[in-house]
Chain A
Amino acid sequence: MSKSATDVIKGLRKGKIDRTAFLTTVYSEIREEVKSPDLATKTNAIRKLFILALEGYDMEWASFHILEVMSSQKFSQKHSGLLAASQCFKPNSDILFLATNFFRRELVANNTIDTCIAINTLACIVNADMSKELLNDCVTLLNASKPILRKKVCVLFYKLFLQYPDGLVICFERLAEKLRDESPGVVMGTVNTIYELSRLNPAFVLFTAQALYEILNTTTNNFVLIKLIKLFVELAKVEPRLLKKLSGPFIRILTSNPAKSVEFEVIRAICAVFPESEDMLRIILQKLPGFLDSHDPNCKFYIVKYLGLVVLHKLIQINRDYAEEYRIFIMEALQSKDVTIRLRALELIKITTTNKSLIETIKNLLIEVEKPINAGIKEELISTCLYLLSLNQYELVEDFKWMFEVLLQIVNFKTSIHEAQLSSIMLDVVLRVEELREEACELSLNALEIFDTLKSEKCEALTALLFIIGEFSNYFSEGNLIKALSLVTKPRWELLNFHESVYNALSSCVFKIFIRAKEDGVFKACVKKLEENSVQIEHMESQERSLLYLNILTTSDKEKLNFVLKPFLPIHPSAQSLIFPPDALQQNFIVNDDELFTTKSDGTLEYHYYREEDFGDIQMTDQEKKAAKLKIKEKQMQDPYYIKPKKGKKKKGKKSKKLEGKVEEIKETAEVVKEEEIKKPEAPKKYSVNRAEPLIPS
């Protein structure tokens, strides 16, 4: 006696059995049973298979059997088959080729219930081909006598249109007629479909606005109301004239409807559609306390969402200070147990912080970063801090020394994602704010004392600190200068294997410190450090730079190096246009023009030192042309910017005749060499690595 579905469920729930073994047994039974010609047995097998599918087993191999069960005349079997189909068939399943006819029969059948359950399943599995085939039958169903059928078909149309968009043009008008259907369920279904379509193409559904407006004013169903409100927001984007008509109903709904979901939807709509209106703002702000005082955590979620919308659109336009009232609430929300609410609160903080509240906000944010509960949102917290500090070119910051201290504090949090942004802000603010430089130097020096802890992947922070110390070392007192020098000349720098940019910055820093300093001892220390750098560090570029600086230091006059003392200043992007180009940069400047020479018939090259067009319409004798040629050539020889053509087989024009013979010689030897090369096998290349010789000759 084969098990029924209930038996399987009971079997699974027995405590002591081995589930996997039981399931495997059932599965193999099903595989046998499902082949049976008797529909009842088949249905039983499919029902059991469904249970196994919930446990994770695959159902697709039985697709054809499911189709057979679906096609049964018996309602219970058909129902089970359709259930299995809705779970297992997908729009890309092959079985759907065979299923189309089945669905067509069901759609035109006289049996309401059969058609209903067919539509239920169809909504889950319909694909483009089926859509095309069944569209007409669905349109016929729009006029069915039973409202339940009309209702289901209206909603089905959305799926049909998604799969077969051309169908939209054909039957949308017929669907839109259903907005005036007497049955509210049908209207609901139609509104749903039109809403989804309006998200894709609002202009297309615009002609239904009149009917929709009537429903907006008459319906009492909150589900429909919400969908309509959303619909009108989409329509208002393409038809601004709707706005006048919408303000009345929106206010009415907002003040009269008790449901919070509807309230929220209207507020969201108002913010999207009427961002300027003062009246609306007043009404919305009246509603907010209702949410603020509520203990329902969902309300908390909504309030932060609300505030995000309301504040975003209106208060910023008016004045950030309006947001003062809500700051306490936002800070509380930041400490909420729910991480979604915390993240939303961060968004609000970005919008509502003013220059008066900046210091406290940042302080709170930094406290939050250190809490273990916030480990997941640490990145967002820090990026909010950086965003606020650098907003509108530091508009919010009043005390830059405090800001620099905050930046150094963030450096210690060691977030690699933000390091680049952090270091660029540090450099930017020190360059732009002259008064900050002295304090920034001192703070950077203190921060650098623990430079070994600041190692990271690209070490941008370290590079920035080194740059600040070097570039603005003229603000250091003597004592600090010595301290700085001793810090950067520590041997520990080489040992720790930092990123290449650190060593580059280190060399420049040493170089600049020397330029500022006045003592001989400093000179010796700098030179020694640069020497070490050029030898011990692996990166070639860093070695190169150290050598470069070393050479400059040891060979130049110290006075001549004072150009280094000129400060880096930010330049406005339009400044370049104020500088006129020098005379050397002429308009018709030929740079390495390949047309400067041609290949003559015997294979030699002839260089042209002029172009015919340069002479224009001037008629010249040959003698005059030669003279002109020579003149131009002369000018080019003396011109330091003229790039001489490639040193090919031919040398410059004047000597070309003398070398002609030699060129022939060279050609011959080249040919000989070629032949020799062909004969000999290629010798492998040898590279010799000279490790013994020091790179700097002593």
Chain B
Amino acid sequence: MIHFILLISRHGKIRCSKYFSTYSNKEREKLQKEIKGLTIGRNSKLCNFLEYKEMILVAKRYASLYFVLGQDKEENELISLEVLQFFVEILDKYFKNVCELDIIFNFHKAYYLLDEMLVAGHIIETSKKQILRVIANQDEIMEDALVETETRSS
């Protein structure tokens, strides 16, 4: 299974961190620090798979963000790379040509999209259309609520 996903900026800022396994706050900090060291600045000609403790890290850089995924040793690395690719494509479709800024200001949307894609560390939906439909639905409800409060206050 997938244990965590991290989105790290070029300068080492964590833009998004989702943990599917239990890690204490201290463990998370240590993990993030070590992974930053391992992935940032890694030559893109090297392979995307690194061994880290008893896991394998799958790291890929998209523009200015490093997408890092931590998986069990038994998992198929190439398919995890697909998972990352899928995530990026969904973000791209949702934000219409996504860039790092979108994720900085709308981090909660990134989390919601991730939630539709992966639950308990497993991929459960492989259709982009489906996921985007669900999120669009959620957005609508939130919009309605917003309109409601505005009409009430006005």
Contact = CB atoms under 8 A, between A and B. Distances in A.
Interface of A: 6, 9, 13, 40, 47, 50-51, 54, 56, 58, 60, 74-76, 79-80, 83, 87, 90-92, 113, 116-117, 119-120, 123-124, 148, 151-152, 155-156, 158-159, 185, 188-189, 192-193, 196, 199, 221-223, 226, 230, 259-261, 264-265, 297-298, 300-302, 337-338, 340-341
Contact of A90 (B17, B22, B79, B112): B22
Interface string B101-139: 000110110011001000110111110001000100110
A300 B138 contact: no
B117 to A, nearest CB: 11
A226 B81 contact: no
Contacts of B35: none
A60 B112 CA distance: 21
Shortest 5 CB-CB contacts between residues of A and residues of B: A261-B78, A301-B47, A192-B122, A123-B120, A120-B115
Interface in B132-152: 134, 137-138, 141-142, 145-146, 149
A532 B141 CA distance: 94
17 contacts: A79-B138, A79-B142, A80-B108, A113-B138, A117-B115, A120-B115, A124-B19, A152-B124, A158-B122, A189-B119, A192-B123, A222-B79, A261-B76, A261-B79, A264-B76, A298-B81, A338-B47
Contacts of B45: 297, 337
B78 A340 contact: no
Interface in B39-93: 43, 45-51, 74, 76-79, 81-82
B14 A54 contact: yes
A155 B124 CA distance: 8
A210 B145 CA distance: 48
A338 B120 contact: no
Contact of B47 (A199, A264, A297): A297
Nearest to A199: B74
A230 B123 CA distance: 15
Interface centre among A13, A76, A185, A264 (most CB of B within 10 A): A76
Given A54-B17, A297-B47, A185 B124 contact: yes
Nearest to B58: A298
Given A120-B119, A151-B125, A226-B76, A75 B81 contact: no
Contacts of A91: 22
Contacts of B49: 298, 301, 340
Interface string B14-45: 11010110101100010000000000000101
A179 to B, nearest CB: 15
Contact of B119 (A50, A152, A265): A152
B55 to A, nearest CB: 13
A12 to B, nearest CB: 9
B124 A337 contact: no
Given A148-B134, A264-B78, A297-B46, 9 more contacts: A75-B138, A120-B119, A124-B120, A155-B120, A155-B124, A222-B79, A222-B82, A226-B79, A301-B77
Interface residues of B, number: 48
Contacts of A226: 76, 79
A152 B120 CA distance: 9
Contacts of A116: 134
Contact of B124 (A40, A188, A260, A301): A188
A340 B124 contact: no
Contacts of B20: 123-124
B46 A83 contact: no
Interface centre among B78, B108, B125 (most CB of A within 10 A): B78
B104 to A, nearest CB: 6
Nearest to A59: B25
A90 B48 CA distance: 30
B120 A159 contact: yes
A106 B82 CA distance: 33
A189 B123 CA distance: 8
Contacts of B122: 155, 158, 189, 192-193, 196
A79 B112 contact: yes
Given A189-B122, A221-B126, A260 B78 contact: yes
A340 B50 contact: yes
Given A230-B74, A300-B47, A340-B51, A75 B141 contact: yes
Contacts of A155: 119-120, 122, 124
B1 A196 contact: yes
Contacts of A148: 134
Contacts of B25: 58, 60
Given A58-B25, A298-B47, A223 B123 contact: yes
A155 B117 CA distance: 12
A302 B141 contact: no
A658 B17 CA distance: 94
Given A75-B145, A117-B115, A156-B119, A337 B43 contact: yes
A335 to B, nearest CB: 14
Contacts of B1: 196
